[in-house]
Structure 1
Amino acid sequence: MNGFLTDLQLYGPGFVDAALTVFWLTIMTIIVSWICGLLAALGQRSKWRAIRLAAAFYIWFIRGTPSLIQVFIIYFGLPQIGIRLSPFTAGVLALGCNSGAYIAEIVRSGLSAIPPGQAESALALGFSPAATMRSIILPQVIRIILPSLTNEAISTLKNTSLLSAITVVELTLYAQTLIAMTFRPFDFYIAVALIYLVLTTMLTQLASWLERYYKMQS
């Protein structure tokens, strides 16, 4: 018991800071991924062929290459063309673009589930295409795709561990630093797993609350 309290006192603040880093990484990445995903999903439905091809290429490339390689391209590759990003910013951009491709497919499937007659009726009533999408189509799509968005958000949270490879001091890198000093991999990897479990459970509970909320609104 004394050993546990000592560890908590010595390493607890560092784990809290690392968990907060994971939290902010996840929030920022989710925002970027939803922007990228929505743009790509709408781009696939564009009347302009060039936009459709660009959206299709983005989804094809991201889904067909490893996430870690995408992180390396953003962090190590962009400086070769004069674009230098901090590890945190590069990580958010890489993970956001990665998740955005999957969000795009989720949104596309949700849009396909909405009967075309709804958009046609809205346009006939004088709604603009943008107003139709914002006020009529997207609220229904969100209700349909919310469980899938939750799964993607959980994957995004866990993928933040990849950013230890570019020196972002999140939970994994902090644990590796402690292991190098103490030679106690079991203890600290278990601690990291438990913290991730708490974070993913909190995210799942939030998503469940949102699902109930939307059901009450419908």
Structure 2
Amino acid sequence: MSLQLYFAPGACSFVPHVLLEAAGAAFEPKMVKLHKGEQYGEEYKALNPKSQVPVLVTDGTAITQIVAITTFIADNFPAAHFLPTDLLQKARVLQTLAWMNNSVHPTFTHIFMPQKFTPDAAAQATIKAHNVQLFADQLREIDALIGQAKAAGGTYAAAAYGHDHFTALDAYTLTLTRWGSIAGIDPTRFTHAWPHIQTLAQHPSIAKVIERERLQLSMMAPA
């Protein structure tokens, strides 16, 4: 099976990027430079007409959307335990992953790119301010999830659902918490999530992706 992952540094594509490395998969990472508009080129749009990352190409077939891609990776690398075999546990992990992708992620989009939703500068400021507060509330929910996992004696987020293995929930927690710092939300306020992502960042597979994407866990200047 040939695999190519199209990713952009710091984007949500970090999630499958980390899973592929953690699984020990043989894959070709292909960087998409969003700031240069490469996602709008004809070659890339042939893979994903929506001009978004990530795209996972397997044996010539393109797969898009985080939940679909991460499920595909989990199913093809079962030894990594990226998803539970217990169906109820699996459903709970996927419901949280879908929430992160479909609810939390769009909140950040409203902060980072309010111009997508209105050309009016005053309205953009209102959209951004409202969504910063919403994003902080959502990050607190993620922080509480990590707290539940730790209280259950687990190491990883899915331990809150009885599955103490590294999953996409952990990779997305790192991504979203990091985005919080871009939005001006101090990640150190999250007493469960912040130590969790610091520990995750020391894992060789995750550290490799962080280095490849040239990321910092927090974009806020030290106090």
What range describes the TM-score normalised by the shorter chain of this pair?
under 0.3
Relative to its length, the structure with more helix (as a share) is: 1
Relative to its length, the structure with more strand (as a share) is: 2
Larger-gyration structure (1/2): 1
Q: Tell me: higher relative CO, structure 1 or 2? Use CA pairs within 8 A at least 6 residues apart.
A: 1
Structure-2-length-normalised TM-score:
0.26
Structure-1-length-normalised TM-score:
0.27
